[in-house]
Amino acid sequence: MGDRITKNVISINLGNYGSTGSIVYGIESISLSKKFKYCCAYPQKKDNKEKRENDYHICSEIFCKINHRLAYHSGLLGCFAVFSTLRLLWKIDRLNPDIIHIHNIHGDFLNIPLLFYYIKRKDIKIVWTLHDCWAFTGRCPYFMMLHCNKWKTGCFACEYAKQSYPESMIDLSNIMWKMKKNCFTGIKKMIVITPSEWLAGIVRDSFFKEYPIKVINNGIDLSIFKIVESDFRKKYEIAEERYIVLGVSFGWSIRKGIDIFMKLAAILGEKYQIVLVGTDEYIEKSLPNNIILIRKTKSQYELAQIYSAANVFVNPTREDNFPTVNMEALACGTPVITFNTGGSPECIDNTCGIVVENENMDVLEKAINDVCERNIFSQEKCRERAQKFNANDKYEAYIEIYKGMIED
């Protein structure tokens, strides 16, 4: 293995779309020049981008749906997809990878015990990027709103909503926690990556604490997200003297703070115009008429125009790892205000944003006033801060992790 000039890496993720898909393809984009041959493995899904030449489909969309129903009714998430996983293991055998890079695997397309039994038996080197907390809980991806610490010693009597992702009609969190601990511990050569210092701290209190834990922040494409000319105000007939308060999410919920924007709409007054991006028909029914609602944007460039037009970006998330939207706003010269939750505050400092204690509407309103009316942050300082999150630098950091593991 060590004599090969080019090293093989297989990445496993729940799709090739969204922020995790971008990370996978971003690493792939520079891998060959660094003497790494990349194979991206993921299930077929309607949200996926076009399949690339070296991609591998683990599971068809119809079988993902079947596996989802089985998991939903049994409570055994990640315990089906036997045939699909065996095919993946055959593919891994053929590629003989130096490293398997795992991302999100809670998507009804893998049999977790089969995969990790194989990894341990073959003594394969693993890099695992944790994008949430699912890997060390009985079921939930986040638990801060529940103030739950059961995951530290063993989940039971789960308070996480049955209809929340990943759905499960039956609470088998005690069995699932034990299964995960058995599968995910005892791997001889694994490095755990987290996008935030916050999540790294959480992981060190979990059964993953036996592994080296490193932080590589998520990054953004600074050639797309930058200060650009925008006709957004003209398009939506927003007067120049009004301040635009922007929120962006592609899964609005209480967790993402949709109720906070409803409260802001009632208290900010006519000087302010709230704009929310990423809404859908369901969430729009509950929102007041004085909020401008924009469904999923057609392109990242269009999103950059919206960021550039805003006076302030507000992210009242209650549970998050390292929100990409914060960095995107900064790169477009827009200051960020966020709740002090999860890793959301980590991408800002006192030159470009304000951290507000969770749920404190008085302080949040004052922060918005300070940013907009006193103009306490400059576009240049926001953009300067965003330079720390250049996506290419983050992809390079992953390549360095690979090199270090192979040389070890």
Residue 1: its pLDDT value, please? 43
Q: Is 203 left (phi over 0), alpha (psi -120 to 50) or beta?
A: alpha
Per-position b or e across 176-211, b if 16+ CB within 10 A of its CB:
bbebbeebbbebeebbbbbbbebbbebbeebbbeeb
The bridge status of strand 190-194 relative to strand 7-12 is unpaired
Cβ(225)–Cβ(313) below 8 Å: no
Can you spell out the DSSP letters for 324-391?
Answer: HHHHHHHHTT--EEEES-TTGGGG--TTTEEEE-TT-HHHHHHHHHHHHHS--S-HHHHHHHHGGGBH
**HSE-up (13 A, CA, CB side) for residue 111:** 15
pLDDT tens track for 258-282: 999 999 999 999 999 999 999 999 9
Q: What is the pLDDT of residue 5?
A: 66
Orientation of helix 112-122 relative to helix 173-184, angle to 10°: 20
SS3 191: strand
Quick one: pLDDT at residue 279?
95
Domains of the chain with CATH codes: 7-219+391-407 (3.40.50.2000), 232-389 (3.40.50.2000)
In which residue are the tokens 């009804």 written?
Answer: 108
Which pLDDT value is given to residue 386?
98
Alpha helices, H only, 50-157: 61-74, 82-95, 112-122
Mean pLDDT by 10 residues, the chain (408 residues): 73 94 96 94 94 94 95 96 97 96 95 98 98 97 96 96 93 97 98 98 98 98 97 96 96 95 97 97 94 91 97 97 97 98 97 97 98 97 98 97 92
The torsion region of residue 38 among left (phi > 0), alpha (psi -120 to 50) and beta comes to: beta
First and final CA of the chain: distance in angstroms?
13
Distance CA 320, CA 338 (A): 11
Please write the tens of the pLDDT for every residue from 69-124: 999 999 999 999 999 999 999 999 999 999 999 999 998 999 999 999 999 999 99
Is the separation of the CB atoms in 236 and 292 below 8 Å?
A: yes
pTM, two decimals, is 0.95
What pLDDT, in 10s, does the model give residues 278-318?
A: 999 999 999 999 999 999 887 899 999 999 999 999 999 99
* Packing angle, helices 112-122 and 82-95, rounded to 10: 20
Q: What is the pLDDT of residue 408?
A: 77
